[in-house]
């Protein structure tokens, strides 16, 4: 299966095939697999701050506007030395808006895993960020994610409105059934009304307030 993404002689690598040269794949979409990820981050830092930070004990996350980190996809080799300084990386949170064409949502799942797998192949600890849309993405968003391990989810901006909250709750339930994680890193609010039952099941919930909430609290 590795030849699916192999570079062709004489062709420019516009598909960034080098990201998945060592990858194995999962599911009908052939999403690159992250092979491990049972970690316990102590601190998180957004990518936009990590590029100039020296707090290397942090895990880098991408729970920011896509425009902030699209450059990592466009030129990953430029940012590899920066990301290697930190304790680890949560794979990029490319958006899965429910009103996006489904193929674009699948593409962003692929990009999440391709970057994550490449970082892992370059010696960086990686926790997979699992982002989902509606029920059509529940299978695909679990492709390439190690089971019985640690996953990350972003709740910021996803549970304030009733409609968004319903989709988040339903999606979270489905990915937990499929992946059976040992622990979940939650970026944003982690109310017991949503996460309490998973705590009772023995899943460790590692909660990190969003940068917006921290800034507002200090203000």
Report the percent of the chain where pLDDT is more than 90. 84
Q: Give me the sign of the Cα torsion angle 185, 188, 194, 195.
A: positive
Q: b vs e for 147-184, b when ≥16 Cβ sit within 10 Å of the residue's Cβ? A: eebbbbbbbbebbeeeeebebbeebbebbbebbebbbb
Host H or E run for residue 152: strand 150-154
Domain that holds residue 56: 2-218
Please report which confidence band the pLDDT of residue 213 belongs to, taking 50, 70 and 90 as the band edges: confident
What is the domain count for the chain? 1
Identify which of 19, 116, 119 has the alpha carbon closest to the alpha carbon of residue 7: 19
Looking at every residue in the chain, the average pLDDT score rounds to 93
Give the predicted TM-score (pTM) of the model.
Answer: 0.92
What's the half-sphere exposure (Cβ side, CA atoms, 13 Å) at 79? 23
Mean pLDDT of 194-217: 89
């Amino acid at each position: 299966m590795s030849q699916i993404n192999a570079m062709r002689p004489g062709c420019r690598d516009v598909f960034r095939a080098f990201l998945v040269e060592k990858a194995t794949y999962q599911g009908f979409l052939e999403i690159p697999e992250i092979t491990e990820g049972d970690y316990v981050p102590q601190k998180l830092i957004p990518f936009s701050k990590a590029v100039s930070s020296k707090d290397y004990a942090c895990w880098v996350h991408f729970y920011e506007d896509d425009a902030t980190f699209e450059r990592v996809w466009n030129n990953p080799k430029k940012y590899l030395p920066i990301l290697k300084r930190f304790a680890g990386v949560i794979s990029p949170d490319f958006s899965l808006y429910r009103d996006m064409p489904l193929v674009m949502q699948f593409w962003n799942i692929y990009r999440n895993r391709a970057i994550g797998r490449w970082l892992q192949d370059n010696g960086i600890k990686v926790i997979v960020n699992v982002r989902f849309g509606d029920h059509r993405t529940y299978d695909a968003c679990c492709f390439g994610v190690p089971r019985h391990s640690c996953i990350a989810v972003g709740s910021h901006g996803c549970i304030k409105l009733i409609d968004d909250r319903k989709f988040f709750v339903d999606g979270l339930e489905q990915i937990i059934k499929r992946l059976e994680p040992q622990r979940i890193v939650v970026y944003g609010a982690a109310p017991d009304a949503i996460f309490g039952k998973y705590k009772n099941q023995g899943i460790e919930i590692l909660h990190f307030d969003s940068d917006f909430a921290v800034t507002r609290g200090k203000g």
